[in-house]
Structure 1
Amino acid sequence: MFLGSYDHKIDDKGRMILPSRFRNVLGSPIVCTVGIERCMAVYPLDSWQTFVARFDELPFSKEKSRNFKRVLFSMADEITPDKTGRILISPSLRCYGELKEDVSVIGVEDHIEIWDRARWNDRRSTLLGDLGKMIEEVMQ
């Protein structure tokens, strides 16, 4: 399970060291793809396979299903971290997530997300302000 939040940096070549606490759970290789709300989602290979198995039943005859699969899989990248736990984030994922230098790496149970740090801090602040209401709605 992925828990916690860590601030990291992306270098000018698009490389980032994964938090050591997450590296052990992620294993290798990992799958990086687009996340919801303009972040990057990172999955251990087994969690990725479980995640995408949900979409096997989506009818390819429906345009929204086709488009969802196209975006999710075309933006996905299988990555093997180097000896130091560093990964190279593709330019397309950096562009999508507006990831420049300062990022936050957050645990989201079965995967991690990489956010632009300022955007994550703003979003987290908003979410914490709405926490009571959010819990009521989710727990119904």
Structure 2
Amino acid sequence: MANFIGEFECKLDPKGRLMLPAGLRKQLDPAAQEKFVLNRGFEKCLVLYPKNEWEIISTEINQLNQYVKKNRDFIRYFYRGATELGLDSTGRVLFPKRLLEYADVAKEVVLFAYSNRIEVWNKEVYDGLLTDEPEDFATLAEEVMGNTKKQEDDGGIS
């Protein structure tokens, strides 16, 4: 499983191509074979998955019971816009115009890499997220991370 890390400021060329930063390329698993799937993210960003990671996520989603309407709705929305991409000979990836419009991405972008994905953000929107940081990040961390499996296994002892 990939474990990306980093923030990278980049620029799209007029055709919608992005040069994948060397720092990210070094983190790619050879199993991805320089192939990706680009999809809509949850907060008006795009998400770039290495192809091998996308296959793992797809397998999980495809196990949902499609006789349940909420599941069907989620599956349709999740896969909507998903596009397979590859790096060209110069290390660029061409983003579909429709997905760029969805995320309001034009020229300046931030690639936020974490876990098994690379989020693609409009730079201004991403910078706005950072200024909207919760006043008490420690409280948010406790709410989110306070009930992790490790803590439960340890009996709540840190």
TM-score after normalising by structure 1 = 0.91
TM-score after normalising by structure 2 = 0.81
SS at match of 2:62: coil
Say which structure, 1 or 2, has more relative contact order (CA 8 Å, 6+ apart): 1
- Distance of aligned partners of 1:8 and 1:84 in 2 relative to their CA distance in 1, 3 Å threshold: same
Determine whether 1:47 maps to 2:58.
no
- Distance of aligned partners of 1:114 and 1:81 in 2 relative to their CA distance in 1, 3 Å threshold: same
The 5-angstrom pairing of residues 57-96 of structure 1 reads 57-96=63-102
- Aligned-partner residue type, residue 79 of structure 2: F
Determine whether 1:111 maps to 2:117.
yes
Give unpaired runs (5+ residues) of structure 2. 147-158
**For 1:22-56, what per-residue CA distance to the aligned partner results, in whole angstroms no more than 9, with x for missing partners?**
12333411111111101110111111111222212
- Distance of aligned partners of 1:4 and 1:130 in 2 relative to their CA distance in 1, 3 Å threshold: farther
SS at match of 1:54: helix
Among the aligned pairs, what percent are the same residue?
29
- Aligned-partner residue type, residue 3 of structure 1: I
Q: Return the alpha-carbon distance in structure 2 between the equivalents of residues 43 and 128 of structure 1.
A: 28
Task: State the match for 2:40 in structure 1.
Answer: 34
Q: Return the alpha-carbon distance in structure 1 between the equivalents of residues 20 and 135 of structure 2.
A: 29
Give unpaired runs (5+ residues) of structure 1. none
* Structure possessing the higher radius of gyration over alpha carbons: 2
Q: CA RMSD in A?
A: 1.6
